[in-house]
Amino acid sequence: MKTTFIRNSILFLFIFGINISFAQNIKFGNISEEELKEEKHPLESDANAAILYSSREVFYGYNSQDGLYQENRYHLRLKIYTKDGYNYAKKEIGLYEQNSGTREKLFEVKGATYNLENGKIVKSKLKSSGIFKEEITEHFIKKTITFSNVKEGSVIDLKYKIRSPFLTSIDASIIQENIPIKLLKQRILIPGLISFNLHYGGRHPFNVNQSMQNETYGSESIETDVYEILEKNIPSLKSEPYSGNLEDYRSRIDFEIRSIRPIGGVTKDYAKTWESVCKAIYENKNFGDQLEKTKHFTDELTVITSTSKSKMETAQKIYAFVKNKIKWNENTGKYTEKGVKKAFKEGIGNVADINLTLISMLRAANLQAHPVLISTRNHGKTMFPTLDGFNYVIAYLKDQNGNEYLLDATDRTLAFGSLPDRTLNWTGQLITENLQIRQVTLPSYIKATQKRNISVKIDEDGFITGNVRTSYDNRFAYYYRKSLGSLSKEKLMEKIEEQNEAIEVTNCRASNVTDLQKPIMEVYQFESEEGVQKVGNELYFDSMLYWGDSKNIFTADERKLPIDFISAWNETNIVQFNIPNGYTLKAKPEDFNTVLPEDIGLFTFKIEQKGNKIIVYSIVEFQKTLITPEYYNDIKGMLDKVVEKHAEKIILIKN
């Protein structure tokens, strides 16, 4: 049987005119001069490196000493085109080990670097000193394989095996890498003793050919599922502007364990639901038990509740207290590292230490609060129920009026009810005390706004003075606080001038920087001798002067990945030009207005004259946060128009 993912394709592929099938193998060390002489990839000339051949075979074996085991066999052949491709000349391999000493083993590693020198192929063998071991956690180690004599034009060949006693876990089949792949071959054999659900993902199409065959395990002959993938010329997965986490779009197969029957044993069911996953997490001593610990903050909570005039004020004070009491150590995690009591005492902890403390304090104040499990943007979207799918916990709060809030106390610049970018990843799973769950949407729909009002005075010599007043709200206020909020007045003036080299800032101030529930207001005065061109008795200047968009971030002719803006946003600029005495308006750009399909976004540009003032309005808005590539040309065209209109000239003429 052939399972087709996204598209149909032929079963046999022709690479370089050779008929390649699963019965044929690329021999290790058989490097051709053609491969060494190749100066750039034939389909992606900008590639720094490419995978010439990638092979993986997964099967289950049996012996009297170990019983049933899993083995992975890999063969990787890599081409280095440029110096920027040198970082691909190493292979990092993760291995898991249980407390009992049961562990995965890396063995039969062989590799070499091949170069063409004076017309001859020169081989540099991988040495044992080129393999490094690093302990990542108590249960994970990383082995890094490095190669010597790597140059532009080198070909690297590597083979290795991994044997694992962990039968219920198969590493994902990665179909697409960050560099192009000329030929990929994977063969995965799963005995009928073990059942997996296969989850297909990614945007590049590939085929999976499925069949059955009998294999012997111990004394049993068991029907075995065989999955085969044979693909050629797989393009690299490239980051594009505002593309989010590339892992969400990488073509792959994930294996979810469903059940296992040991030889001569009883079937054990591993099938999971969201309910069973959340229940297992909640019942972990480093999660649910932590929510019951309250004695260590009794005094602090009493002060907060006794000085609050409402339940909402209590909630906001608890949120502010936890943010300032426990500093985030930059570690994510759904389980506590120190435990809430120790983190509270030491004033530092991971995400769970902090946010479970927050939930516990809210509950202790008789507020309705619950944990919400999520997967961060870097961790990827959780497509099916799994314990490993969640790596973060935030707080949910419902007030007496039914209003709902999502809170994260790890970032001291966050306003109450806001979440950091890393958490805005589709949905989360809320868990109540009685282990009821429901899905919650993470609020990327809250619109970030920036509104800039500019007053400009131009004298007859083209010298400019003016003032700028800008308000930043929601996510734009958060970004401002993160990047500029701690700067002194002098440093802020320098930053403004760095962003716009044509002006000299003479004074500035920013208000509401520490009042997180209010928009930030930035005001500054400036002067400049640039920006106005005097030709005869006429003055020329751009319609948005210094504040126009000078380039479109979307420059590619086509796009493969969705556009991910994280949140909806609006940028409004209003520039008021005071016409100098003795001048009148000769010419101005035409008004323009466009709305994108499906109300994705809009651009409005308008100029009007009121007495001796010219007022320019520019509004750019996107109402949707995740936009499919089919609308890319519409978006690119609109933003091209923004650049064009912002650069069009206003002309004043002397009477």
Q: What is the CATH number of the domain that holds 506?
A: 2.60.120.1130
- Same domain, yes or no, for 540 and 496? yes
Percent of the chain scored above 90 by pLDDT?
A: 89
Tens of pLDDT, residues 519-567: 999 999 999 999 999 999 999 999 999 999 999 999 999 999 999 999 9
Q: Which of 16-20, 112-116, 495-499, 514-518 has the lowest mean pLDDT?
A: 16-20
- Same domain, yes or no, for 369 and 497? no
Kind plus residue range of the DSSP H or E element containing 35: helix 33-37
Q: Which of 210, 243, 269 is the last residue of a domain?
A: 269
How many whole angstroms from its chain centre is CA 194? 33
Q: Which of 265-274, 474-483, 486-495, 508-517 has the lowest mean pLDDT?
A: 265-274
- Same domain, yes or no, for 142 and 59? yes
- Same domain, yes or no, for 259 and 345? no
Q: Which domain holds residue 603?
A: 448-654
- Of 145, 137, 144, 68, nearest to 98 by C-alpha is 137
Q: Which of 397, 417, 441 is the last residue of a domain?
A: 441
CATH code of 161's domain = 2.60.40.3140
Residue 2 has pLDDT above 90, yes or no: no
- Same domain, yes or no, for 52 and 118? yes
- Of 512, 538, 522, 535, nearest to 415 by C-alpha is 512
> According to the model, what pLDDT value does residue 22 have?
59
> According to the model, what pLDDT value does residue 16 have?
36
- Tell me what the mean pLDDT of segment 501-518 comes to: 97
Q: Which of 439-448, 514-523, 536-545 has the lowest mean pLDDT?
A: 439-448
- Same domain, yes or no, for 395 and 506? no
- Same domain, yes or no, for 423 and 478? no
- Same domain, yes or no, for 47 and 106? yes
- Same domain, yes or no, for 312 and 367? yes
- Tell me what the mean pLDDT of segment 184-205 comes to: 96
> According to the model, what pLDDT value does residue 149 have?
97
Tens of pLDDT, residues 116-160: 999 999 999 999 999 999 998 888 999 999 999 999 999 999 999
CATH code of 302's domain = 3.10.620.30
Residue 617 has pLDDT above 90, yes or no: yes
Distance CA 12, CA 9 (A): 9
- Same domain, yes or no, for 419 and 452? no
- Same domain, yes or no, for 58 and 170? yes
> According to the model, what pLDDT value does residue 23 have?
56
- Same domain, yes or no, for 396 and 464? no
Q: Evaluate whether 214 touches 224 at the Cβ level (below 8 Å).
A: yes
Per the DSSP assignment, residues forming a β-bridge with 603 are 594, 620
| Averaged confidence pLDDT in the chain | 94
Per the DSSP assignment, residues forming a β-bridge with 623 are none
The string over 21-56, giving b where at least 16 C-beta atoms fall within 10 Å of a residue's C-beta and e elsewhere, is: ebeeebebeebeeebbebeebeebeebbbbbbbbbb
E-state strands within 304-367: 327-328, 348-349
Q: Which of 385, 408, 441 is the last residue of a domain?
A: 441
pTM score > 0.85 for this model?
Answer: yes
Total domains, the chain:
3
